[in-house]
């Protein structure tokens, strides 16, 4: 059996890593993760593990860190180093300019990585496998075609949380992150989704959802293994888009862990603003909703951020949440490309009007490969 070790910087469960680990183990391979923050002697442990592949799943914020660690690994062991994740598949050519990287995954990694491990077991070359670009011995890049997207999410093993729960700091947290779907129907320019839709065009259905029963079963199993979990935090890119599905999930929480489990997540205003729906949501074990304001200037939000929601809809969502006793916070950005001081004040004023429990505010970052980053460069 082949062995893959993921290296990462922070104490957080990465769903891509957990799903790849579950898929590899299902097919007879080994997978684990080492977190630098918790494993100060991680490189010694890596050498002891002696993996067949060393992997990094990275976002933009951790990319430079990952490249530096890859260079450190190259000095002590001659194992192939693979990179994957959103930053990588949005910027493949720039990623492969770093000589310490031997291969990159250009999409979902479960099947491609499993095929690499199968080839390793057979002592065969794996540079032909779809879903990967490989650096060849002569230094050129072999760009294989995209791999198909995973079709039926109900057929995939549940995320392998054991590789993270070995860390006490993660296991003892009372929040359980959960992913019920992949993909998103919206096209917000600050998000990776518009670019991902183009990249994966023709590779299968982009938006896929697990069934309510499948999600509920994972929650039940996780609750049995970690009864200290109190909050299910949904991290879907389009959480709540399927009202019927998620309402069924929320209603089922009262039957798990003695009814002590609550739920939360950032929900789209467009999918929230229906009073009958909010009334039913309020009867479930809700904890905290996230409502995205992003920018208080309605024209800028529509024309530049490509979010068609109107201020009056945001105000309505806040009023409905308050009417039915549902606590909410807002998500806001400042420092947007071309944003004036007056436009930033509109964001503040809208928050003052709707009075969230807390107004989260982030300074915009032009993540490479996103539509808004291109807009920022052009302007």
Low-confidence ranges of the chain (pLDDT < 70): none
Q: By three-state DSSP, how is residue 254 classified?
A: helix
Q: Are strands 53-57 and 175-178 parallel, antiparallel or unpaired?
A: unpaired
Integer CA distances (angstroms), 159 to 104, 178, 232, in order? 22, 9, 14
Q: DSSP characters for 234-256? A: E--TTTTSSHHHHHHHHHHGGGS
Q: Which residues contact 201 (CB under 8 A, 6 or more apart)?
A: none
Task: Show the CA angle centred on residue 7, arms to residues 181 and 75, nearest 5°.
Answer: 150
Instruction: Please state, in angstroms and rounded to a whole number, the distance separating the CA atoms of residues 83 and 152.
Output: 25
Which pLDDT value is given to residue 168? Answer: 95
Q: Are 39 and 14 in contact (CB under 8 A)?
A: no
Q: b/e per residue, 208-220, with b = 16+ CB within 10 A?
A: ebbebebbbebbb
What's the gap between Cα 300 and its chain centre? 26
Q: Which DSSP state fits 308?
A: -
Q: pLDDT, tens digit, for every residue of 291-310? A: 999 999 999 999 999 999 99
**Average per-residue pLDDT for the chain:** 96
Handedness of CA 17, 193, 94, 137 (dihedral sign): positive
Q: Are 262 and 287 in contact (CB under 8 A)?
A: yes
Q: pLDDT, tens digit, for every residue of 199-221? A: 999 999 999 999 999 999 999 99
For residue 216 the two structure tokens come to 């509920």
Q: pLDDT, tens digit, for every residue of 318-344? A: 999 999 999 999 999 999 999 999 999
- 92: nearest Cα among 63, 71, 117: 63
What residues pair up with 132 in beta bridges, in sequence order? 105
Instruction: Please state, in angstroms and rounded to a whole number, the distance separating the CA atoms of residues 15 and 9.
Output: 15
Model-level pTM greater than 0.75? yes
Which pLDDT value is given to residue 170? Answer: 96
Which pLDDT value is given to residue 71? Answer: 98
Integer CA distances (angstroms), 17 to 58, 206, 211, 297, 366, in order? 10, 20, 22, 38, 25
Which pLDDT value is given to residue 63? Answer: 97
For residue 372 the two structure tokens come to 């808004």
């Amino acid at each position: 059996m082949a062995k893959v070790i993921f290296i990462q910087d922070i104490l957080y469960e990465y769903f891509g890593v957990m799903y790849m680990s579950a898929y590899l183990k299902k097919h007879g391979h080994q997978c684990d993760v080492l977190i630098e923050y918790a494993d100060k002697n991680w490189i010694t442990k890596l050498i002891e593990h002696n993996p067949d592949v060393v992997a990094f799943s990275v976002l933009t914020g951790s990319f430079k860190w990952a490249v530096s660690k890859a260079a450190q690994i190259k000095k002590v062991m001659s194992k192939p180093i693979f990179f994957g994740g959103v930053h990588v598949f949005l910027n493949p050519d720039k990623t492969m300019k770093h000589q310490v990287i031997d291969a990159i995954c250009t999409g979902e990694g479960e099947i491609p990585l499993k095929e690499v491990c199968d080839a390793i077991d057979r002592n065969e070359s794996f540079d032909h496998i779809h879903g990967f670009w490989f650096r060849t011995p002569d230094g050129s890049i072999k760009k294989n075609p995209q791999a198909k997207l995973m079709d039926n999410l109900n057929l995939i093993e549940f995320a392998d949380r054991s590789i993270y729960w070995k860390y006490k700091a993660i296991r003892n947290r009372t929040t359980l992150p959960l992913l019920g779907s992949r993909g998103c129907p919206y096209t917000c320019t600050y998000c990776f989704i518009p670019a991902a839709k183009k990249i994966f065009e023709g590779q299968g259905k982009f938006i896929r959802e697990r069934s309510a029963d499948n999600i509920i079963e994972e929650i039940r199993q996780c609750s049995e293994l970690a009864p200290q979990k109190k909050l299910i935090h949904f991290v879907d890119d389009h959480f709540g888009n399927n009202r019927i599905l998620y309402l069924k999930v929320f209603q089922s929480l009262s039957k798990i862990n003695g009814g002590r489990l609550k739920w939360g997540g950032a929900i789209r205003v467009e999918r929230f603003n229906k009073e009958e729906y909010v009334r039913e949501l309020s009867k479930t074990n809700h904890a905290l909703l996230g409502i995205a304001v992003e920018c208080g200037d309605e024209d800028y939000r529509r024309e530049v951020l490509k979010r068609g929601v109107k201020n009056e809809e945001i105000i309505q969502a806040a009023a409905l949440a308050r009417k039915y006793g549902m606590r909410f916070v807002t998500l806001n950005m400042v420092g947007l490309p071309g944003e004036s001081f007056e436009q930033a004040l509109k964001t503040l004023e809208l928050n003052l009007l709707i009075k969230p429990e807390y107004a989260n505010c982030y300074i915009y970052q032009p993540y490479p490969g996103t539509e808004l980053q291109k807009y920022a460069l052009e302007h």
